Structures are given as structure tokens and as C-alpha cells.
């Protein structure tokens, strides 16, 4: 019996029953970047999403795999999609050359990827989206198992 939690091959959620919402890929999304496991934010029209940018601070969700597609299949602009909002263990897309160790806090990077939270001023690091559960240090984009539980970023002192 394996220890820990195996990463699913064609699903984003590894464990849990998170809250999910049906959305649409927005007009401002870059279709090639809209892969399952991508962190998404609201687009310009209600109930539409696009890939998150670096250090995103607002509403965040994970793009899920469509029942009739594979994890490597990108969504097109205008496609219906399911997004994962609730707490779970999920496979996320770690940016290339990002060195993470079990327990590191994660924030969004460009293109809806995730990265290790950097040391910086409060209110300028983006929303912590969870913790990574496995170490990774590769030069290419990696699929890492993480505890998805977005927190609210504290505001900078005024």
C-alpha cells in the first residue's frame, strides 16, 4: 500500500469533495494557457474566467478537466468549464525552475501557474493558495500535489 496520496493521471482533484462552479472561458483568456490545473480568475463578463497572473489577490479557482477531455486538452474561448473553488488536495501546475519543498506556501505565477511565496511586503505577495505537499526542482513545468485552500491576503499597513 503506497504512503501518502497518489497523483491522479487525468484528474485535478486527488482527494476531497470541493465546491465546484460551472463557468465559461472568457474572451480575454489565452486558449493555449487554459489547461486543467491552471489557476483562474474572473474575466470581464460575469461567470467567465481567464488564467491568473502573478501574485493574484482576488477570487481564485482551479480549472478542472472536462468529462470528455484529457488533462492535456486546453479549453477554447467560449467553452463551458468547471472550476474548483473549495478546499481539496489537487494537482497544480508549478512554473518551470521553481524550487519548492514540502510545506512551502504557494501563490500564483504568470499564466495561471503556481510558485513559491516570496518574502516581501505584506499586501504585495498575492493570495496564498495553499501548501505544496511534495518537493520539486526541475527546469520544466511540473505537476505538483498541493493542499488547495486559498486564504485572504492581508492588506498592507496604511
Which pLDDT tens digit goes with each residue over 133-143? 999 999 999 99
- The pTM (predicted TM-score) of the whole model is 0.91
Cell of 76: 477554447
* 83 or 4, higher pLDDT: 83
Domain CATH number, residue 133: 2.40.340
- How does residue 153 score in pLDDT terms, banded at 50, 70 and 90? low
**Quick one: 80 and 34 in the same domain?**
yes
Provide the mean pLDDT of the chain. Answer: 91
**Quick one: 103 and 124 in the same domain?**
yes
**Quick one: 23 and 79 in the same domain?**
yes
Amino acid at each position: 500500500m503506497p504512503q501518502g496520496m497518489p497523483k491522479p493521471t487525468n484528474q485535478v482533484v486527488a482527494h476531497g469533495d470541493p465546491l465546484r462552479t460551472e463557468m465559461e472561458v472568457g474572451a480575454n483568456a489565452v486558449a493555449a494557457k487554459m489547461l486543467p490545473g491552471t489557476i483562474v480568475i474572473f474575466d470581464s463578463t460575469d461567470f467567465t474566467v481567464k488564467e491568473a497572473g502573478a501574485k493574484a489577490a482576488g477570487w481564485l479557482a482551479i480549472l478542472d478537466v472536462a468529462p470528455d477531455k484529457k488533462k492535456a486538452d486546453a479549453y477554447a474561448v467560449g467553452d463551458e468549464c468547471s472550476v474548483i473553488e473549495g478546499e481539496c488536495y489537487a494537482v497544480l501546475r508549478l512554473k518551470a525552475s521553481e524550487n519548492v519543498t514540502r510545506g512551502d506556501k504557494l501563490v500564483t505565477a504568470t499564466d495561471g501557474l503556481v510558485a513559491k511565496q516570496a518574502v516581501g511586503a505584506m499586501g504585495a505577495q498575492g493570495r496564498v493558495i495553499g501548501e505544496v505537499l511534495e518537493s520539486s526542482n526541475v527546469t520544466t513545468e511540473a505537476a505538483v500535489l498541493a493542499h488547495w485552500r486559498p486564504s485572504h491576503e492581508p492588506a498592507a499597513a496604511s
